[in-house]
């Protein structure tokens, strides 16, 4: 442990410098930063003070972290339950996680499920039967989508896609 009893200001300066280095490559949550500083041997009081200082300076913002995490994971095709679990694991408080989802557009969950389903259907080579539909449903559920969303997307995946505008015969080419 870094000796904060003999020179608390030196320990705090060292912890602050370490925090800046930890935050340089990518944002961290307050809990992640605190855990990493503690692993480096800083005393709990020093860790708490430096994390609070980083929050006050705006270097650590759990709300912004949650919003960005939510956006990134949605783009990768993950559902609300999966993302909320990841946010909890990173130390994001429940109200901040809820606020991250509130900032989304209304159809973000359905859009993410459709996107994930389209990729899965392509990898399966289409939905040939009930077994493929069950695989798709399990895949979506495992990605954190709720039952109603899974059912809707699987049903939509059964429907033939809308024809491309260029594939629709035109009446003006009558000859």
- Could you read off the pLDDT of 125-162 as tens digits, one per residue? 888 888 889 999 999 999 999 999 999 999 988 765 55
Q: Is residue 166 part of a domain?
A: no
Q: Is residue 167 part of a domain?
A: no
Q: What is the predicted pLDDT for the residue at 51? A: 98
What is the reported pTM?
A: 0.72
Are 17 and 53 in the same domain? Answer: yes
Q: Is residue 168 part of a domain?
A: no
Q: Is residue 1 part of a domain?
A: no
Query: When comparing pLDDT for 5 and 27, which is higher?
Result: 27
Give the pLDDT confidence of 20-63 residue by residue, as tens digits.
999 999 999 999 999 999 999 999 999 999 999 999 999 999 99
Q: Is residue 171 part of a domain?
A: no
Are 16 and 52 in the same domain? Answer: yes
Element (H, E) at 9: helix 8-23
Are 73 and 52 in the same domain? Answer: no
The domain of 84 spans 62-102
Are 86 and 122 in the same domain? Answer: no
Q: Is residue 165 part of a domain?
A: no
Specify the number of domains making up the chain: 3
Q: What is the predicted pLDDT for the residue at 90? A: 95
């Amino acid at each position: 442990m870094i000796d904060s009893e003999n020179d608390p200001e030196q320990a705090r300066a060292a912890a602050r410098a370490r925090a800046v280095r930890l935050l340089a490559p990518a944002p961290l949550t307050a809990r992640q930063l605190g855990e990493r500083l503690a692993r480096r041997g800083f005393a709990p009081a020093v860790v708490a003070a430096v994390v609070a200082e980083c929050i006050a300076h705006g270097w650590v913002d759990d709300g912004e972290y949650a919003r960005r995490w939510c956006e990134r994971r949605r783009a990768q095709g993950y559902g609300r339950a999966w993302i909320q679990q990841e946010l909890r694991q990173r130390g994001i408080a429940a109200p901040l996680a809820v606020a991250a989802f509130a900032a989304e557009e209304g159809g973000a969950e359905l859009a993410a499920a459709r996107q994930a389903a389209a990729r899965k259907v392509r990898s399966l080579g289409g939905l040939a039967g009930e077994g493929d539909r069950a695989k798709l449903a399990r895949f979506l559920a495992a990605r954190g989508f709720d039952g109603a969303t899974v059912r809707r997307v699987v049903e939509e995946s059964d429907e033939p896609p809308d024809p491309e505008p260029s594939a629709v015969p035109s009446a003006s080419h009558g000859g």
